[in-house]
Structure 1
Amino acid sequence: MSRVLLVNLASLPMDGNQPIFPIGVRCIQDALDRAGHVTRLVDFVEEPNSLVDLEWLYHEWDVIGFTIRNIDPIDITCSTHVDEYIAFAERIRMELGRRGLDPVLVGGGPGFSLFGNTLVGKLGLDVGVIGPGEQVMLDIAADPKPFKGRGDVLQGRRHCGFLTDTLRHPSSLMAAYSNAYQAMIGVETRRKTCYQTCAYCPYAHIDGDNTGDLKPIDVLAEEIRGIHDQGFRRIFFTDGIFNSELRYAKDVVELVRELALDGLTWSAYFTPKPFDDHFGELLQGSGVEAVVVSPDSLDDSVMRNLGKSFTTRHVSRFLDRSRKNDLPIKVNVVFGGPGETRESVRNSAGFINANLEDDELVMHVGYRVLPETALARHLGMETDRLLYPTFYPFDLNVFSWVIQDLDSRFVSPELMMNLMAGRASARKMARVEDATRTIAPPPGMTYLALASKGGDNDCCSQ
C-alpha cells in the first residue's frame, strides 16, 4: 500500500484559465482507492487556501502526481500556462527538499501528454505518463522505488475498471464545481482512438493505441444518476466524436431519454457523418443543449488540407436533418488553416451567411501547432520548440477579410473585440526563425510564436 497525493494543476488560478471538474485525475484516484492505496486530491477550486498553506504537502507521501489539462489558453493570445506550472513545481520541490521528503514525482494529463519528455525535465519530475494513467499509476503505487529518477515517460495502458467501476465523486469536490455559474461536468462513455485524421488534433497521440472500450449502459446510468443527485444539471460527453459509432451513440441518447432526470441537459462533439434521420429524431427532446460540429473551414479545399473526412455537402445534410428536428446547433470555424486564401475565406463566409443563424457560429482565427499532429510534421519543428504557443502560418489579413465577408448579423461587438484582440496579439508575437523547419511560409504568411518569460525559447526572435 502506498500513500499517493494527486495535485490538480489545472485548478491553479492563471490568466485565461477556466477550471473544469477534474474527471481525468478522479479516474486515477478512484482506481488507486479501489486497489487499497491511501490517496488525497488537492484541487484549488475546492480548497483555495491550499495554494498558500502547503500543509497538505508535509506528509510521508510515497508518490505525488501532478495533472496538466491545458498548456495554454485556447484563444490566440500572448499567454501560456507553462511558466506557472514550472514555478509551482519548483516551489513544491523546494518545500519537499527543505523538509527532507523525497516522494516519486509523476506528471500526467492531456496537456502533459503532448510534451511529456520536455515537461518531465522542466518540472523536475521522476517520470511522466502519456494518455490514460490509471494502470501506470497502479504500477507506480505498487512499487514506487524503481521509478525514482527515471526521467522518462511511460505510455498509458488499458484499464479494465473502466468497464466495471461506477465513478462516484466526493461531495465536497462536486459542490465546489457545481456552484459555479452554468457548471458542467464531463462524462466518459468510451475509450477509443479517434478515427478522424484532423491535421491539428493530437487526440490519437494522447489516447494511445486504444481499440475501443464502450462503457456498459448500466454503469453509465449509475454514473449519470449520481452526478444529478449531487447537483449538476449539465453534462458533457467527453468522447472525441460522440457519434463516431452511431449505434452506441444512439444507445447513450436513448439512456438519457429513459432516465428523464429533472433539468438535465447535455452536449458533445459531433461529426456531420454518420448522422442519419433516426439519430436526429432521437436527439429531439433528449435534453441536448448543443449539437456541436467542427468542420473548421467551410471551403472544401481547406477542409481537405485539414484532413476532414467530410465535405460541405455533408455539413449541409447535417444542418437539414438538425433543423428538421429543431436541434440546437453550434458550428466551429477556425480561419487561418493550411491553404487559407482570400478566396477560401470568402467561400467559408458565404456558406455561413447562407446557412447559419446568428447564434450558431463559433469562430476563431489561427491554429495552435501541437506535437504529433500533421501540422507539426508539415512544419518539421521539434516538439520542445512547440511548448510555447506556435501558430500555423497564415496571412494576418484574415482578420480583416472575415469582417468584410461575414454578414453584419454575425459581426457582434463581442466578435469584433475578439478579432481585434487576436490581431493585436498576433502582431506582438515573435516571427519564428528556425533552421530545423523543413518548409518556408508562403508569401504574405508568417509563423507566430510566443517566447517564454525567461527568454529561453530560442526558436523565436523579435
Structure 2
Amino acid sequence: MSRVVLVNLASLPMPGNQPIFPIGVRCVQDALDRAGHVTRLVDFVEAPRDLTDLEWLGDGWDVIGFTIRNIDPIDITCSTHVDEYIAFVNRVQAELGRRGIDPLLVGGGPGFSLFGGTLVDKLGLDVGVIGPGEQVMLDIACNPQSFKGRRSTVQGRRHCGFLTDTLRHPSSLMTAYTNAHRAMIGVETRRKTCYQTCGYCPYAYIDGENAGDLKPMDILAEEIHGIYSQGFRRIFFTDGIFNSELRYAKEVVALVRGLALDEFSWSAYFTPKPFDDEFGEMLQGSGVEAVVVSPDSLDDRMMRNLGKSFDTRHMLRFLERSRKSDLPVRVNVVFGGPGETRESVRGSAEFINENLLSDELVMHVGYRVLPATALARQLGMADDQLLYPAFYPFDFDVFNWVIQYLDSRFVTPQLMMNLMAGRAAARKMAKMELSPGITPAPGTAYLALAGQGGVSGCDH
C-alpha cells in the first residue's frame, strides 16, 4: 500500500485559466482508492489555502502526482501556463528538500502527455505517464522505488475498471465546482482512439492504442444520477467525437432522454458524419445545448489540407438534418491553416454567409502547432520547440480577408475585438527559423514565442 497525493495543476490561479472539474485525475484517484492505497487530491478551487500553505507535503506521501490538463489558456493567444507549472513544482521541490523528504514525483494528464519527455526534464520529475493513467499509476503505487530517478515516460494502457466501476466524486469537490456560474462537469462514455486524421489534432496520440471500451448504460446512468444529485445540471460528454460510433451514441441519447431530469442539459463534440435523420430526431428534446461540429474550414480544398474525413457536402446534409429537427448548432472555423489563401477564405465565407445563422459561427485565426501532429511534421519541429506557443505560418492579410468576405451579421463587436487582439498578438510574436528544407508559402511568417526558457515573445 502506498500513500499518493495528486495535485491538480489545472486549478492553479493563472491568467486566462478557466478551471473545470478534474475528471481525469479523479479517475486515477478512484482506481487507487479501490486498490487500497491512501490518496488525497489537492485542488486549489476546493482548497485555495493549499496553494500557499504547503503543510500537506508533510503527510508521508510515497508518490506525488502532478496533473496538467492544458498547456496554454483556452483562448488562442501568445501566452502559456508552462512557467506557472514550473514555478509551482519548483516550490514543492524546495519545500520537500527543506523537510528532507524524497517522494517519487510523477507527471500526467492530457496536456502533460503532449510534451511528456520535455516536461519530465523541465519539471524535474522521476517519471511521466502518457495517455490514460489509471493502470500505470497502479503499477507505480505498488512499487514506487522501482520508478525512482528514471527521468523517462511510460505509455498508459487500458484500465478494465472503466467498464465495471461507477465513478462517484467527493461532495466537497463537487460543491467547490458547482459554485461556478453555469458549472459543467465531464462524463466519459467511451475510450477509443479517434479515427479522424485532422492535421492539427493530437487526440489519437494522447489516447494511445485503444481499441474501444464502451461504458455500460447502467453504470453511465448511475454516474449521471450521482452528478445530478450533487447539484450539477450540465454535463459534457468528453469523447473526442460523440457520434463516431452512431449506434452507441444513439444509446446514450436514449438513456439521457429516459432519465428525464429537470433542468438538465448536455453537450459534446460531433461530426457531420455519421449523422442520420433518426439521430437528429433523437437529439431533439434531449436537452442538448448545442451540436458542435468542427470543419475548421468550409472550403473543400482547405478541408482536405486539414485532413478532414468529410467535406462541404456532408456539412450541408448535417445542417439540413439539424434544421429539420430544430437543433442548436455551433460550427467552429479556424482560418490560417496549411495553404490558406484569399480564395479559400472567400470560399469559407461564402458557405458561412449562405448556410449559417448569425449565432452559429465560432471563429478563430491561427493553428497552434502541437507534437505528434501533421502540422508539426510539416514544419519539421521537435517537441521541445513547441512547448511554448508556436503557430503554423499564415498570411497576416487573413484578418483583413475575413472581415472583407463575411456578412456584416457575423462581424460583431466581439469578433472585431478578437480579430484585432489576435492580429496585434501575432505581429508581436518572434519569428523563428524553420528546419532545413522547410519553406513556408510566399507571404507567410512562422510565428512562435521567443525565449523558450520562459521569456514571453509577446513583449518584443
The answer to whether the superposition gives a TM-score over 0.5 is yes
Q: Specify the alignment match of 1:136 in structure 2.
A: 136
Deviations 1:126-161 (A, max 9, x none): 000000000000000001001010000000010000
Q: Provide the secondary structure at the position in 1 that maps to 2:50.
A: helix
Aligned residue pair count: 460
Q: What is the rounded CA distance, in whole Å, between the counterparts of 1:341 and 1:163 in structure 2?
A: 47
Residue deviations 1:50-75, cap 9 Å, x none?
Answer: 11111111121000000000001233
> How much has 1:456 moved relative to structure 2?
7.3
Partner of 1:411: 411
State the Cα distance separating 1:437 from its structure 2 match: 4.7
- Checking the alignment, whether the CA contact within 8 Å between 1:368 and 1:390 is kept in structure 2 is yes
Structure 1, gaps ≥5 residues long: none
- Residue 77 of structure 1 aligns with an amino acid whose one-letter code is T
Q: 2:241, 2:271 within 8 Å by CA — same for their partners in 1? A: yes
- In the other structure, the counterpart of 1:361 is 361
Q: Is contact 1:433–1:461 with CA below 8 Å preserved after alignment? A: no
Residue-by-residue CA offset, 1:77-119 (whole Å, 9 max, x unaligned): 2211001111111110000010011000000000000000000
Mapped to 1, the partners of 2:195 and 2:74 lie a distance apart of 24
Instruction: Report whether the alignment pairs 1:440 with 2:439.
Output: yes
Cα distance, 1:457 vs. partner? 9.6
- Please name the residue that 1:199 is paired with: 199
Preserved CA contact (<8 Å) 2:79 2:456: no
Confirm or deny: 8 A CA contact 1:76 1:426 kept in the other structure: no
- Which residue identity is paired with 2:442? P
- Counterpart of 1:278? 278
Structure 2 residue matching 1:76: 3-state secondary structure: coil
Taking the aligned partners of 2:156 and 2:305, their CA distance within structure 1 comes to 30
In the TM superposition, 1:238-387 aligns within 5 A as: 238-387=238-387
d(CA) in 1 for partners of 2:48, 2:340 = 44
Query: Which is further off, 54-63 or 366-375?
Result: 54-63
Please tell me whether the aligned partners of residues 432 and 461 of structure 1 are also in contact (alpha carbons under 8 angstroms).
no
The amino acid across from 2:56 in the alignment is W
| Residues 72 and 82 in structure 2, CA contact (< 8 A), matched pair in contact too | yes
Q: Kindly state the Cα deviation for residue 256 of structure 1 after the two structures are TM-superposed.
A: 0.1
Matches within 5 A, 1:73-92: 73-92=73-92
Tell me the distance in 2 between the aligned counterparts of 1:452 and 1:69. 23
Match of 1:172 in 2: 172
Task: For residue 293 of structure 1, report the CA deviation from its aligned partner.
Answer: 0.2
- Matches of 2:230 and 2:398 in 1, distance apart? 45
Instruction: Report the alpha carbon displacement of residue 202 of structure 1 after superposing the two structures with TM.
Output: 0.2
Residue 22 of structure 1: aligned partner = 22
Alignment check: 8 A CA contact 2:385 2:452 kept: no
Q: Aligned equivalents of 1:452 and 1:324: distance in 2?
A: 52
Per-residue CA deviations over 1:197-235 (Å, capped at 9, x if unaligned) read: 000000000000000000000000000000000000000
CA contact (8 A) 1:379 1:437 kept: no
Aligned counterparts of 2:432 and 2:347: Cα–Cα separation in 1: 29
Q: Whole-Å Cα distance in 2 between the matches of residues 67 and 16 of structure 1?
A: 18
- Rate the CA distance shift 1:248–1:455 in 2: closer, same or farther, 3 A: closer
Given that residues 336 and 394 in structure 2 are in contact (C-alpha distance below 8 angstroms), is that contact kept between their aligned partners in structure 1? yes
1:430/1:461 contact within 8 Å kept: no
Q: After superposition, give the CA deviation of every residue in 1:294-343 in whole Å (9 maximum; x if it has no partner).
A: 00000000000000000000000000000100000000000001110000
Measured after TM superposition, the shift of residue 163 of structure 1 is 0.1
- Runs of 5+ in structure 2 lacking a partner? none
Q: CA deviation at 1:454?
A: 4.0
Q: Is 1:229 aligned to residue 229 of structure 2?
A: yes
RMSD across aligned C-alpha pairs, in angstroms?
1.4
Give per-residue Cα distances to partners, 1:15-47, cap 9 Å, x unaligned. 111111000000000000000000000000111
In the other structure, the counterpart of 1:117 is 117
Deviation beyond 3 Å, 4+ runs, structure 1: 452-458
Once the 2 structures are TM-superposed, how far is the Cα of residue 451 of structure 1 from its aligned partner? 2.2
**Secondary structure, in 3 states, of the residue corresponding to 1:235?**
strand
Measured after TM superposition, the shift of residue 452 of structure 1 is 3.8
Instruction: Return the alpha-carbon distance in structure 2 between the equivalents of residues 452 and 25 of structure 1.
Output: 31
Partners in 2 of 1:309 and 1:77 — Cα distance?
28
